[in-house]
Amino acid sequence: METIRILLVDDHEVVRTGLRSFLEAQDYFEVVGEACNGDEAIDLAMEIQPDVTVMDITMPGMDGLESTRRLAKKCPDCDVLALTVHDDKQYFFEMMAAGAAGYISKQAAADELVDAIRTVCAGDVYLQPSLANWLLDDYRRLLAQTPTAEQSPPHAESEQKQELHPDLDVLSERELQVLEMVAEGLTTPQIAEKLGLSPKTISRHRGRIMNKLDIHSATKLVKFAIRVGLITV
């Protein structure tokens, strides 16, 4: 297993020190940098190119939300894991929409943080189980508001399919396979094993899928899968 290079972003030095000590005690983890605000995080991330940035949300100057948005554009290969005291739906949805690949509270168990870092580094989405229900609840609500076929006006079905399945024809056969497996909840290593490819190759396929569908957040990819019926909620 390759070493996961981690950037810690939190405005409290004592928190960073504790996280560094804990994470570096784990196998294949290396903390390669620390930042106390979003501005420092972006500059440092562009310099050292970490695999995962563990990002606090509330910080002086540029906060974690804006920093995540900018990192998604400037360092697309650096996955952001939100680690925060905010157990709040608004922060959750805003961070995931900004491009975070995972969200976990500081009250979570230590082994959950380890799992979260490994998951997002593998190119998958990590949602703390107690928070993942927010995503499903939100889409159950949206689906309940979607007109049924009987309620839809003429031609609405074809228009809806166009909305729910944008540009699927631009995906290759392999990319469609990967998208379907992602929708089924398989992790990158599991997909790689099933297709006989390397995890890095699967991660590249995921990146191309997101670019072709103009979906630039791992969570939005999951939402897309729900909308097109690849995930049953």
Residue range 149-163: mean pLDDT, rounded? 43
Question: How far apart, in whole angstroms, are the C-alpha atoms of residue 5 and residue 31?
Answer: 6
Per-residue pLDDT tens for 160-173? Answer: 433 435 556 677 77
What secondary structure letter does DSSP report for 56? -
Q: Please check whether residues 81 and 126 belong to one and the same domain.
A: yes
pTM passes above 0.75: no
Question: How far apart, in whole angstroms, are the C-alpha atoms of residue 32 and residue 4?
Answer: 10
Q: Does a structural domain hold residue 233?
A: no
State the pLDDT confidence band at 157, using cuts at 50, 70 and 90: very low
Domain of residue 223 covers 149-227
Residue range 145-161: mean pLDDT, rounded? 46
Q: Does a structural domain hold residue 92?
A: yes
Q: Please check whether residues 167 and 100 belong to one and the same domain.
A: no
Residue range 147-158: mean pLDDT, rounded? 46
Residue burial 43-67, b: 16+ Cβ < 10 Å; e: rest: ebbeeeebbbbbbbbebeebbbbeb
**Distances, alpha carbon 87 to alpha carbons 82, 111, 134, 209, in Å:** 11, 18, 11, 31
Q: Does a structural domain hold residue 18?
A: yes
- CATH number for the domain that contains residue 39: 3.40.50.2300
Please give the tally of structural domains in the chain.
2
Q: Please check whether residues 11 and 123 belong to one and the same domain.
A: yes
Q: Please check whether residues 126 and 221 belong to one and the same domain.
A: no
Check whether 96 has a pLDDT greater than 50.
yes
End-to-end CA distance of the chain: 34
Q: Please check whether residues 32 and 68 belong to one and the same domain.
A: yes
Q: Please check whether residues 125 and 207 belong to one and the same domain.
A: no
On average, the pLDDT of the chain sits at 80
Question: Helix (H, G, I), strand (E, B), or coil: what is residue 105?
Answer: strand
Check whether 10 has a pLDDT greater than 90.
yes
Per-residue pLDDT tens for 49-78? Answer: 999 999 999 998 899 999 999 998 888 889
Question: How far apart, in whole angstroms, are the C-alpha atoms of residue 87 and residue 103?
Answer: 10
Q: Does a structural domain hold residue 179?
A: yes
Position 152 scores a pLDDT of: 46
* Contact predicate 208/175, CB 8 Å: yes
Q: Does a structural domain hold residue 16?
A: yes
Q: Please check whether residues 169 and 212 belong to one and the same domain.
A: yes
Q: Please check whether residues 154 and 95 belong to one and the same domain.
A: no
**Which residue, 131, 166, 184, sits at the end of a domain?**
131
Question: How far apart, in whole angstroms, are the C-alpha atoms of residue 15 and residue 6?
Answer: 15
State the pLDDT confidence band at 144, using cuts at 50, 70 and 90: low
